Amino acid sequence: MAKTTETLDEFYRHKYGAVSRDFPQNDGQFNIFRIEDRISAGTSSPTFIRRDFYKIMLFQGDNVFHYGDRSITVSGNTLLFFTPHVPYTYEALKPETKGCFCVFKDEFFKGNIRLNLFELPLFAGGTHPVFSLKDEEASEIKSIFEKIIREADSDFVYKYELIKNYISELLYYGMKLQPVNSISGHANAASRITAVFMELLDRQFPVESTAQRFELRSPKAFADRMNIHVNSLNRAITTSEHIFERLVSEAKVLLKYTDWNISEISYVLGFEDQAHFNNFFKKQTDSSPTSIRRV
């Protein structure tokens, strides 16, 4: 069966031999790399797979990032955020590509009462936090990464606490680049209901095993879990539309990048049988599951 998730330990075991910095022993296994060092070491592009860690990247060059079920072309200076909930990869790196990226797990921010990574809009389900930067913005972001690199190589006893502040600066910078309506607080009951619904939806993904099953598939199921009337939920958000969108997105990923048969995919996505899944997928995409698998 195809592997669906790469752990940070595996990331380091596969790719660490080409860099000089010692294997990270800090909580959250934080580390930072220069892209040009990865190119000179001959490191290949990652396979399309989920990781169990977060990544923040300043990418300087041209490429195509395959993020979930979307392909996003980037050019020039780009700031990208990656979450454990969405699989990704990118095309082979060109020799002139530059930039930096850092990796870390949830534990890196453990105990930080102001930053719960899962709740940040940058990492919300359905978002694609890829930001083209102006020259001035790119200079600011590059400066932050250079500070992180200097601290990572230092002997300062509190260096990781300082690095957390720099990472927080990158996160807040990214949120500043997002549309205002995506980062506003929960000012009323409707927005709070929407936030809880989206969190419950996100928690069911990614699907990583054929023993796992997507169970909250209807507005009523969500309403029951949230202890509210289904009418109140539907007034706050178009629940079916969001549920269907996430089901289709996950179905495309499983069809393209696992060797699970369509019957198994039907089961994990909560359908009664393969015929039901085929009809749903066809209605939502105008394509059959089989045709997506052949692409």
19 and 165 part of one domain: yes
Query: For 96-124, how does the pLDDT look when each residue is reduced to its tens digit (9 = 90+)?
Result: 999 999 999 888 887 664 667 766 777 76
Same domain, 163 and 210: no
Q: How many domains does the chain have?
A: 2
Q: How far apart are CA 29 and CA 83, in angstroms?
A: 15
Whether residues 91 and 125 fall in one domain: yes
Instruction: Check: pTM over 0.75? Answer yes or no.
Output: no
Q: What is the pLDDT of residues 53-79, one digit of tens each?
A: 899 999 999 999 887 767 889 999 999
> In which domain, by residue range, is 244 found?
189-294
Same structural domain for residues 162 and 85?
yes
* Helix residue spans in 130-238 (DSSP H): 135-152, 159-177, 189-203, 219-226, 230-236
The 3-class secondary structure across 104-150, one letter per residue, is ECHHHHCCCCCCCHHHCHHHCCCCCCEEECCHHHHHHHHHHHHHHHH
CATH number at residue 146: 2.60.120.280
Per-residue pLDDT of the chain (295 residues; tens, 9 = 90+): 445 567 777 676 665 554 434 455 566 789 899 999 888 877 666 677 778 889 999 999 999 988 776 788 999 999 999 888 777 888 889 999 999 999 998 888 876 646 677 667 777 656 678 999 999 999 999 999 999 999 999 999 999 999 999 999 999 999 888 764 444 444 456 776 777 788 778 777 777 788 888 888 888 888 887 767 888 888 888 888 888 988 998 898 888 888 899 999 999 998 988 999 999 999 999 989 998 886 5
Q: Are residues 36 and 148 in the same domain?
A: yes
